């Protein structure tokens, strides 16, 4: 059962001051406050390169991520450039590819005595599925897997392996254009001009980093939940149509992204606290997903929860571009587990911990070893 470390602060005042990188950042914790701030881009701006993530990422990447680190109207124009590729997850051929991938991964897992879920199951699923989304050769997934769970945290810093890969991919697309994501960036136009190389890198950087550890942590949390709650897996087996609602509940309860930042251009009052010009506010996605005013028994994983207005894919103009892709992967995983797995037994677990002087949150798993028994 997930634990909500923000409950007391949310009930007490709706805000939690969190120190990050010599900056005390107030985190909004209530569902209504988070959604209101996500809509109000004039007060809570995303036009802040490297400072939208918390902690900020000046030391982790060399380019501004697009379109997430911009405001309307530029944000809308940038977003239109890549939307067609992120909608590929709704194509029958992509759906079939993801289904085959996950069925093969489950068969492989069930053939082993044990399997480590994070690196040997979730990471390959995320990496191969990304090649389908971007319409690049599936063999590229082996490179993505070599990077590990966190693409920015390599031995050279600033995600140098990712940056080098993206440079090569963009060069290849310029020389031999095709129907892939990188070629589309070369063809794209912004305000009646081609994209600059930096803009192309900004789109590509976010595409590879934004949906990586989030998908991996969600998959590992699903597997862990079924290991502890076999009745929930049995319920999906009895009625596979429940997989859509169940996937939304997993997104709510095991939200991998605790928060995201916004910068206040002007001094702003937030629940009695003054944020100075240029200061940041955190939108507490994970805390909002457990708001008692919105979700009954929020710490209970209810796979039939409806309605379920979670904010795991954000809210407002910056609604996550990758949401259809994430939903496809998790829904297909649930359907395939219900159809092909009789039991999941836990062998060992090491939770992935997110720690701050103001809170401590379990967020997916650093490692998770299970036995998966074929069935039903």
- Chain-wide mean pLDDT for the chain? 96
The tally of CA atoms less than 13 A away on the side-chain side of residue 73 is 2
What pLDDT does 156 receive? 53
CATH of 7-374, one of 3.40.50.970, 1.10.630.10, 1.20.140.10, 3.40.50.1980: 1.10.630.10
CA distance 46 to 234: 43
Q: pLDDT digit string (tens) for 39-82? A: 999 999 999 999 999 999 998 899 999 999 999 999 999 999 99
CA distance 99 to 107: 12
Kindly tell me if the per-residue pLDDT of 160 is higher than 90.
Answer: no
Q: pLDDT digit string (tens) for 119-144? A: 999 999 999 999 999 999 999 999 99
What pLDDT does 150 receive? 84
What pLDDT does 157 receive? 53
**């007490």: which residue's tokens?**
12
Give the DSSP letter of residue 45: B
More confident residue, 158 or 215: 215
Q: pLDDT digit string (tens) for 193-220? A: 999 999 999 999 999 998 899 999 999 9
Sketch the domain layout of the chain as residue ranges: 7-374
Cα 179–180–185 angle (5° rounding)? 100
What pLDDT does 158 receive? 58
Q: Is 164 exposed, middle or buried (0-12, 13-18, 19+ CB in 10 A)?
A: exposed
227-266 CB burial, b ≥16 within 10 A, e <16: beeeebbeebbeeeebbebbbbbbbbbbbbbbbbbbbbee
What pLDDT does 59 receive? 87
What pLDDT does 258 receive? 97
Q: Are 232 and 292 in contact (CB under 8 A)?
A: no
Of 355, 333, 338, 110, the C-alpha closest to 221 is 333
Phi-psi region of 22 (alpha: psi -120 to 50; beta: other; left: phi over 0): left
Cα 95–248–234 angle (5° rounding)? 85
CA distance 147 to 153: 9
Kindly tell me if the per-residue pLDDT of 24 is higher than 70.
Answer: yes
| pLDDT band with cut points at 50, 70 and 90 for residue 239 | very high
Average pLDDT over residues 183-199: 98
Under DSSP, is residue 129 helix (H, G, I), strand (E, B) or coil?
helix
Count CB neighbours of 189 within 10 A: 10
Please tell me whether the peptide bond between 205 and the residue prior to it is cis, using omega within 30 degrees of 0. no
Of 25, 18, 21, the C-alpha closest to 58 is 21
**Six token digits for residue 122:** 């979730």
CA distance 261 to 267: 16
| pLDDT band with cut points at 50, 70 and 90 for residue 154 | low
């Amino acid at each position: 059962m997930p634990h909500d470390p923000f409950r007391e602060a949310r009930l007490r005042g709706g805000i939690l001051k969190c120190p990050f990188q010599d900056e005390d950042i107030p985190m909004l914790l209530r569902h209504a406050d988070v959604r209101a701030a996500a809509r109000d881009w004039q007060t809570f701006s995303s036009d802040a390169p490297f400072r939208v993530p918390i902690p900020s990422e000046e030391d982790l990447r060399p380019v501004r991520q697009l379109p997430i680190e911009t405001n309307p109207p530029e944000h809308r124009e940038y977003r239109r450039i890549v939307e067609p590729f992120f909608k590929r997850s709704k194509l029958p051929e992509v759906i079939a590819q993801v289904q085959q991938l996950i069925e093969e991964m489950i068969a492989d897992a069930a053939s082993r005595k044990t399997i480590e879920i994070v690196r040997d199951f979730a990471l390959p699923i995320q990496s191969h599925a990304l090649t389908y989304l971007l319409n690049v050769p599936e063999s590229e997934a082996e490179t993505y897997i070599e990077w590990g769970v966190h693409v920015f945290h390599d031995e050279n810093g600033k995600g140098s392996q990712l940056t080098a890969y993206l440079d090569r991919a963009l060069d290849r697309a310029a020389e031999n254009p095709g129907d892939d994501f990188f070629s589309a960036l070369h063809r794209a136009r912004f305000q009646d001009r081609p994209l600059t190389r930096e803009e192309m890198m900004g789109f590509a950087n976010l595409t590879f980093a934004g949906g990586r550890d989030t998908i991996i942590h969600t998959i590992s949390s699903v597997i862990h939940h079924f290991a502890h709650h076999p009745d929930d897996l049995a319920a999906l087996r009895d009625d596979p149509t429940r997989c859509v609602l169940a996937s939304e509940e997993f997104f709510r309860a095991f939200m991998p992204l605790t928060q995201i930042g916004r910068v206040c251009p002007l001094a702003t009052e937030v629940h009695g606290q003054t944020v100075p010009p240029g200061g940041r506010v955190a939108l507490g996605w994970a805390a909002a997903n457990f708001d008692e005013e919105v979700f009954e028994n929020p710490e209970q994983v209810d796979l039939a929860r409806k309605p379920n207005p979670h904010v795991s894919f954000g809210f407002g103009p910056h609604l996550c571009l990758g949401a259809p892709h994430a939903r496809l992967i998790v829904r297909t995983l649930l359907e395939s587990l219900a159809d092909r797995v009789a039991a999941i037994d836990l062998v060992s677990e090491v939770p992935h911990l997110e720690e701050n002087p103001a809170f401590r949150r379990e967020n997916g798993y650093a490692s998770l070893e299970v036995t998966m028994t074929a069935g039903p």
